[in-house]
Structure 1
């Protein structure tokens, strides 16, 4: 794991979604340890309580809620206040690897709601403050599924392609106003996101590919290192990038 950089986020306020576990928790922890003020959200209050308990004396505020709920977005903006320096859209869900002929409307709608619509709405909500300040960084979590079709089912794959495109759109339109938007594309990561394979056909189609192509499972802290780099001024000349952090899966 990479070492933290003392004071890298001093004086900055960063919103982190999905902060109760996995990549989101590792990202929030790193930002707080590097001097930032974190506004963390998750759907499970106990996870946020544990996050605060593990970071005593550090600037961590929590909001319990679903990123697809406008009330959660309002609460995050209230907690953040007038200054918002960064946003890490980490919260996401899988799709049971359902192929196009098996995906149901409920799965499709829920996956897009969490993986695309929620991040879009929260990004839209923080942009006025960032544009007004002439600076800000947005980092979205895409996936290897944003780069290929063999990493998940139809809904998840389409949603991660969509968030990659949205990231580039933010970079294009708002880069001249001081906003940077980038995404990381993880491969397999040790998180608590459920990823059952509910399709027999998908198991036969995707399973053999994954068995030979996927590098070792990464730890959440490795992804947090990439996310916080993109949030920080260390990546000041990086905008509109989808950065694979996948152990080399993208070159297979």
Structure 2
């Protein structure tokens, strides 16, 4: 590790598992003090414990990113624990089982939009004042190839991820001159416990399209963490409002 985030204070949502956990661990390994946020408090604390046992600094914090009160409390707790926030990674997200419109209930729609889009908005809004007071910061949002194309998710998930790409660009435009950089990551299929269940339960055509990517495999969470690290540190200083596709070639075929 090269200390690319040495001295930085980072908040990572969805840090209890999958890509969020990999990103939190990688940020800490690169020198950041990390607030690991997750709906599952025990999972958040487990990630923090892993970081501390490796010699890093971390705190586990419970949050429901779809609830403004919970978000405010979690960010306030993170600021107290870390002494500020320089980096925010909005990674928390859920899938919709590739449900098309007619199979998407209003409850499912609200739940997906609430976590995957509203959650990014709420956490960003709660974090920006601290970043601005500190002179700037970097925000990395988890979008998806479903933010660009169909078949990356169902009606709700695809709509939410298109929204995340738009929110990323607008936030970058609004706050870039004040030292805030905002970019998005758009993965294809990533090998996590959550996506494994979708693949097991999903329709054959969807599974076939995922398995046929030119790379011939799914991404590992650590590969997504590599991109998150790049977008969070000063090497990407001239990158504002970008949405990086990392999909093994899924969207080119």
What TM-score, normalized by structure 2, do the two folds share? Answer: 0.90
CA distance in 2, matches of 1:240, 1:20: 27
**Aligned pairs for 1:229-248 within 5 A:** 229-248=230-249
Specify the alignment match of 1:181 in structure 2.
182
CA distance in 1, matches of 2:207, 2:126: 39
1:45 aligns with 2:76: no
Which 4+ stretches in 1 moved above 3 angstroms? Answer: 194-199, 204-215
**Aligned pairs for 1:11-160 within 5 A:** 11-55=7-51, 56=53, 57-81=55-79, 83-160=84-161
When structure 1 is superposed on structure 2, of 55-64 and 220-229 the one drifting more is: 55-64
RMSD: 2.0
Kept in 1, the 8 Å contact 2:36–2:47? The answer is: no
Could you list the per-position Cα deviations for residues 101-147 of structure 1 after superposition, in whole angstroms to 9, with x for gaps in the alignment? 22110110000000000110110111112222331111001111111
Relative to 1, partners in 2 of residues 1:113 and 1:182: Cα closer, same or farther, differing over 3 Å? same
Q: 2:4 aligns with which of 2, 5, 8?
A: 8
Kept in 2, the 8 Å contact 1:93–1:111? The answer is: yes
What TM-score, normalized by structure 1, do the two folds share? Answer: 0.90
Which segments of 5 or more consecutive residues in structure 2 lack a partner in the other structure?
none
SS in 2 for 1:139: strand
CA distance in 2, matches of 1:62, 1:239: 29
SS in 2 for 1:134: coil
Which segments of 5 or more consecutive residues in structure 1 lack a partner in the other structure?
none
Could you list the per-position Cα deviations for residues 8-35 of structure 1 after superposition, in whole angstroms to 9, with x for gaps in the alignment? 2122111000101111001000111111
CA distance in 1, matches of 2:146, 2:60: 30
Relative to 1, partners in 2 of residues 1:197 and 1:52: Cα closer, same or farther, differing over 3 Å? closer
Which structure: greater helix fraction?
2
